[in-house]
Amino acid sequence: MKSLEDIMAMAQNVQAELQKAQANLDSVEVEGVSGGGLVKVRATAKGRIIGMNIDDSLLNPAEKGMLEDLLAAAFNDARAKADAAAQDSMSKMTAGIPLPPGFKLPF
């Protein structure tokens, strides 16, 4: 078993690496899509919305309700992909650390 000092040093190193990874998440881009590609939302893995693309066919006032639904679906898809990218990045950082089952970082 490692000494408490070794464990604390490891935890400090992990915390520094996690902070770097969190900062890098804003440079990872994901794209949420709905309506078979009619609506696309680009976001960072931190969840910041970068932009969106709406197909011209949806710019009909009669399609307002559908467009609103597709926008919500695209935002949700982008958010899910951002969360997955963030989780993937964080799991790589904590891969070599002996943490108890179910324990999540950061603390």
pLDDT attached to residue 93? 66
What digits encode the pLDDT tens for the residues 38-75? 999 998 888 888 899 999 988 889 988 999 999 999 99
* CATH architecture classification, 26-90: 2-Layer Sandwich (3.30)
pLDDT band at 76 (very low <50, low <70, confident <90, very high): very high
pLDDT attached to residue 107? 45
pLDDT attached to residue 31? 93
pTM for the structure as a whole: 0.62
What digits encode the pLDDT tens for the residues 20-33? 877 788 888 999 99
Average pLDDT value over all residues in the chain: 82
SS (H, E, C) the chain: CCCHHHHHHHHHHHHHHHHHHHHHHHHCEEEEEEHHHCEEEEEECCCCEEEEEECHHHCCHHHHHHHHHHHHHHHHHHHHHHHHHHHHHHHHHCCCCCCCCCCCCCC
